[in-house]
Amino acid sequence: MQYSIVVDSSADLVTPDQLGLENSSIGFGVAPLTIQAGDREWRDVITSDIAEMVDFLASYHGKSGTACPSTGDWITAFNNAREVFGVAITSHLSGSYNSAIVAKQQYEADNPGARVHIVDSLSTGPQMWLIAEKLKELIMEGLPFEKIRDEIEAYRDSTELVFSLESLNNLANNGRVNPAVAKIAGMLGIRVVGSAENGELDPRNKVRGERKALSTILKEITAKGYAGGKIRIAHVFNEEAALKLKGMIEEAFPAAQVKMNATRGLDSFYAERGGLLIGFETK
């Protein structure tokens, strides 16, 4: 196999058809993260019961956390391809990117002539989805490895992530956000709307109710430069709100190209039930 696109499971992509690769010669692989709570463990693969995990964690008050893919997980996901392009969750929140870099070095040493480039998405979920889609486009254009490498890094910098969360408990418990901010979310219908800034989460807006949260999301993506084009929505068992947001975006931006999917294990753990993640192009 000449090419392979690889993501870790925080991209919420599990099958090649989500990137339109089902009838393609381009390989696709996923390096799974793992969610842990007490003596329970969920490997973030297609067979995992995400609904059961979310329900369990909602009533669980013990220690919980996540583990990044191993170097071996990444190498397996490379699919023995000669040219591999990988996308990892922000290195500010996980060791997945560092694990992928070690995998790249080992893979290139063990396979003379093979080349691997790993993108630190500085984000998660739907922003990674956009980066993976762009990789497919660049590969299908027949561009050389170095050109794809440079183009995808530039593209990463032209995308953004905005989120709306009903609970920040798991983020706070794992040191990802301030516990004082987490206490506000979920109180009397308060939702937190924020964005990924330089690879870290910035939960800047506290709003009451779904309608206000969706309108704030629309304002946020507009302020960040969205003017139509690709936009991806991932939701944690909140398809109704995701559809409402999709309609609002399409009304405000007739040229919008909106797609939706459900989060898998890692993003469901951190965003929790009701959460929305929105990745979009700004240029």
Cα separation of 213 and 56, whole Å?
A: 26
pLDDT tens column, 3-20: 999 999 999 999 999 999
Residue type, 265: G
Tell me what pLDDT residue 171 has: 76
Residue 187 has pLDDT above 70, yes or no: no
Closest CA to 280 of 194, 240, 222: 222
Cα separation of 47 and 53, whole Å?
A: 12
Q: How far is CA 175 from CA 85, 158, 165, 270, in A?
A: 30, 28, 16, 11
**259 token code pair:** 């797609």
Tell me what pLDDT residue 61 has: 86
Helix (H/G/I), strand (E/B), else coil: 223: helix
Residue 179 has pLDDT above 70, yes or no: no
Helix (H/G/I), strand (E/B), else coil: 80: coil
pLDDT tens column, 87-142: 999 999 899 999 999 999 999 999 999 999 999 999 999 999 999 999 999 999 99
Helix (H/G/I), strand (E/B), else coil: 88: strand
pLDDT tens column, 244-281: 999 999 999 999 999 999 999 999 999 999 999 999 99
Tell me what pLDDT residue 186 has: 59
Q: Report the b/e string of 42-66 with b at 16+ CB within 10 A.
A: bebeeebebeebbeebeeeeeebeb
Please list the helix, strand and coil fractions of the chain in percent, rounded to the nearest 5, in that order.
Answer: 40, 30, 30
Residue 166 has pLDDT above 90, yes or no: no
Q: What are phi and psi of 242, to 5 degrees?
A: -65, -40
The pTM assigned to this predicted structure is: 0.94
What stretch of H or E contains 276? strand 276-281
CB-based burial label for 114 (10 Å; 0-12, 13-18, 19+):
middle
Domains of the chain: 3-33+68-156 (3.40.50.10440), 159-281 (3.30.1180.10)
